[in-house]
Amino acid sequence: MSFIVAIDGPAGTGKGTITEIISKKLNLVNIGTGSAYRCVALAAIENNINIDDTEKIVDLLDKIKIEFKKINDKDLIFLNGKDVTKRLREKDVSTTVSKVSLIKDVRFKLTDIFKKQAETRDVIMEGRDIGTCVFPNADVKIFLDASLDERIRRRVKQNEELGIDMSLQEIEENMRQRDYDDKTREFGALKQADDAIYIDSSDLSIDEVVNKVIDIINVKKEKIKRE
Ligand code: DC
């Protein structure tokens, strides 16, 4: 049986960063599910498909291949064989991905892909609905949160590091819109699972969050050993 860690929470809470660090420390396969939704949005953009054309986007799903790979200790994501890790963070993808993630068939298809990733390997998976829909029986569930101001500040810093040009206003609007879409969609809405542990990272350093989560994982592993 695979060991599964589910990390959910809104955009900009540091899920991606802490998941990557923990995956290396504990040798877990790191699956950033938001990147998969971003791949579908990017494929739609590249194929000139209108983001409101649900039927065409669903058809596209059969033509795209999404792969999660670790190369030189870096987690990379490939769309049809091409490394799109950085491209997925660009403005056009960030502003269209919410709509793509509302489409029921997109969610079902990607959820299947995510489940397959954990069939034979221990994973740490981050997203919005991992502890509620993708792996309701995950061994460890964390709901990572932070204040809106702090999340915007982090996204500004991340964009600077990646060389992505987005104004503060654009970042804030995008974040508010995605919060709204994430919380109100019909399937896979962002919601804390009843058995998830809540962590507010607003005033915590990355190391502090990482250590908290690792402690929780270790306690669970010990418990499984004793059973
Ligand atoms: O975590 P992120 O910002 O890369 O996620 C991109 C988008 O994908 C986000 O707007 C919500 C969506 N998403 C989702 O609907 N379900 C998930 N499990 C992960 C992300």
**Region 167-176 average pLDDT:** 92
Residues 117-151 have pLDDT tens digits of: 899 899 999 999 999 999 999 999 999 999 999 99
Ligand 1 midpoint to CA 144 (Å): 14
Nearest ligand 1 atom, CA 8: 18
> Ligand 1: which of 101, 135, 164, 192 to mutate, most ligand atoms within 8 Å of CB?
101
pLDDT at 73: 80
Ligand 1 midpoint to CA 84 (Å): 16
Go through 50-83 and write b for each residue having 16 or more CB atoms within 10 A of its CB, e for each that does not: ebeebeebbebbeebebebeeeeeebebbbeeee
Nearest ligand 1 atom, CA 11: 3
Phi and psi of 160, rounded to 5°?
-60, -45
Residues 63-110 have pLDDT tens digits of: 999 998 888 888 899 999 999 999 999 989 988 998 999 999 999 999
CA 153 to chain centre: 19
Q: Whose CA is nearest to atom 7 of ligand 1?
A: 34
DSSP single-letter state for residue 196: P
Is the beta carbon of 188 within 6 A of some atom in ligand 1? yes
Q: Whose CA is nearest to atom 10 of ligand 1?
A: 98
> Ligand 1: which of 98, 123, 128, 183 to mutate, most ligand atoms within 8 Å of CB?
128
Assess whether pLDDT exceeds 90 at residue 49.
yes
Assess whether pLDDT exceeds 90 at residue 196.
yes
Q: Could you report how far apart the first and last alpha carbons of the chain are, in Å?
A: 14
Give the separation between CA 20 and CA 161, rounded to whole angstroms: 17
Nearest ligand 1 atom, CA 33: 19
